[in-house]
Chain A
Amino acid sequence: GESVGLHLPTLSVQEGDNSIINCAYSNSASDYFIWYKQESGKGPQFIIDIRSNMDKRQGQRVTVLLNKTVKHLSLQIAATQPGDSAVYFCAENVRGADGLTFGKGTHLIIQP
């Protein structure tokens, strides 16, 4: 039979607006978190990371927030541009282990 694919959550924002992409993680032993951007036909590209001893980290136009109490991670992109259109994944690394576990992804669409 025909397989059913994942329906990625989609976030549509106007060019120039700020966007917030959310991610829930399940393992309380995770201590390192990373956001990746994946464009069509390419591999995931590193955006920003954060360790569990921090709750906020800023990069160029991006900010990652970590709330360990509710196991929630978010990525804020300021002044979105057409080139920001992509699928965004959060990834976590469990303390003492190697190998990132990836979330299902969010499709960000920038409207002109």
Chain B
Amino acid sequence: DAGVIQSPRHEVTEMGQEVTLRCKPISGHDYLFWYRQTMMRGLELLIYFNNNVPIDDSGMPEDRFSAKMPNASFSTLKIQPSEPRDSAVYFCASSFQGTANSPLHFGNGTRLTVT
């Protein structure tokens, strides 16, 4: 099993630019989660999907952030326009049957730096 795959691994961009982060969950997992990790706030849940449908986006910081899951094997997290305070490591994770019953499996993250 290839695990959760994220791209790019590193992204450096200038303030105001659009950033798109990509994720391929583990095949057969029907839940997908986006987390953000910073030194200040630790790991924060941004949004999660069940069967490609967004269920809870209450963790998305503001309207500049959006996420989509057009099919079971692909999701994107977009930031437009990006700001320096968005600098963080963004993780995608997937699980089988949700986190009430099974653990999350994480990708290796995208380290975003906004200058």
Contact = CB atoms under 8 A, between A and B. Distances in A.
Q: Do A and B come from one complex?
A: yes
Interface of A: 3-6, 31-32, 34, 36, 41-46, 49, 89, 91, 93, 95-105
Given A3-B40, A102-B43, 6 more contacts: A43-B4, A43-B91, A49-B103, A98-B31, A99-B56, A100-B45
Contacts of A36: 106
B42 A102 contact: yes
Contact of B98 (A3, A34, A98): A98
18 contacts: A3-B39, A5-B39, A6-B40, A6-B42, A31-B100, A32-B101, A34-B104, A36-B106, A42-B108, A44-B43, A44-B104, A46-B104, A89-B43, A95-B100, A97-B100, A98-B50, A98-B55, A99-B45
A88 B20 CA distance: 29
Interface of B: 4, 31, 33, 39-40, 42-43, 45, 48, 50, 55-56, 91, 93, 98-101, 103-109
The 3 lowest CB-CB distance pairs between A and B, nearest first, are A5-B39, A43-B106, A102-B43
Contacts of A95: 100
